[in-house]
C-alpha cells in the first residue's frame, strides 16, 4: 500500500522551516499532500490562492508533493485521501506539548500515525508569524522564506 502523508498547516506564508520538513519527508513517503487549512474565523495575510501557489512553485520539481486546501477536521481529509500518516515539524517544547495532545487524540480516534521531524538548526527559529511581522514592518524577509514567496 502506498504510504501517504498529509502535512497540514496555515502556511501564511510557507517558510524555509516548512520547506525543510517537506523535503526531508520526501524519502519517507510515497506521497506528501501539503494541506492548507481554511478557518473561517481566522484572517490571513496571504490569500488562499497565494499560499497554495507559493508552495506549488517551491515543489514543482518534486512529483510526489502536492498541495490541497481543506476545511474541517484534518483526520477527515486524511480519510478522504487514504493517508495513513500526518507529518509535523517540532521546533521546541511548546510545539511538543501542543502536538502531543493532538497526535494522541488522532491516534486514539482514527489510528492515524503522526510522524515528527525535528527542526533543522538553521531554520528552528523561523515561524510564519515572525515572517508576517517582518513583512508588515517592511523588513527583509527573503532569508526566511523560499523564493516563490513574493509580497506585492
Task: Check if the beta carbon of residue 32 is closer than 8 Å to that of residue 82.
Answer: no
Question: CA separation (Å) from 52 to 7, 36, 55?
Answer: 13, 7, 5
Minimum CB separation from ligand ADP for residue 98, in Å? 8
Q: Which of residues 9-68 bind ligand ADP (CB under 6 A)?
A: 9-11, 15, 17-18, 21
80 is catalytic: no
Catalytic residue among 23, 91, 107, 132: 91
107 is catalytic: no
Distance CA 49, CA 83 (A): 24
Task: Check if the beta carbon of residue 75 is closer than 8 Å to that of residue 109.
Answer: yes
Q: Please identify, using beta-carbon distances, which residue of 81 and 120 lies nearer to ligand ADP.
A: 120
Q: Please identify, using beta-carbon distances, which residue of 1 and 24 lies nearer to ligand ADP.
A: 24
Phi, psi of 72 (to 5 degrees): 90, -155
Residues at the interface with ligand ADP (CB under 6 A) = 9-11, 15, 17-18, 21, 88-89, 91, 95, 119, 123-124, 126-128
Which residues are designated catalytic? 18, 42, 91, 128
Amino acid at each position: 500500500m502506498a504510504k501517504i502523508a498529509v502535512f497540514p498547516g496555515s502556511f501564511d506564508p510557507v517558510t524555509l522551516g516548512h520547506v525543510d520538513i517537506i523535503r526531508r519527508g520526501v524519502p519517507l513517503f510515497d506521497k506528501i499532500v501539503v494541506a492548507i487549512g481554511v478557518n473561517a474565523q481566522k484572517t490571513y495575510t496571504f490569500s488562499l490562492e497565494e499560499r497554495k501557489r507559493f508552495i506549488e512553485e517551491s515543489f514543482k520539481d518534486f512529483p510526489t508533493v502536492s498541495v490541497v486546501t481543506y476545511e474541517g477536521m484534518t483526520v477527515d481529509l486524511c480519510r478522504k485521501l487514504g493517508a495513513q500518516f500526518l507529518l509535523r515539524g517540532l521546533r521546541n517544547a511548546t510545539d511538543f506539548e501542543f502536538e502531543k495532545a493532538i497526535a494522541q487524540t488522532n491516534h486514539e480516534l482514527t489510528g492515524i500515525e503522526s510522524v515528527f521531524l525535528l527542526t533543522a538548526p538553521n531554520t528552528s527559529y523561523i515561524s510564519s508569524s515572525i515572517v508576517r511581522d517582518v513583512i508588515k514592518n517592511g523588513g527583509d524577509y527573503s532569508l526566511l522564506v523560499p523564493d516563490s514567496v513574493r509580497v506585492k
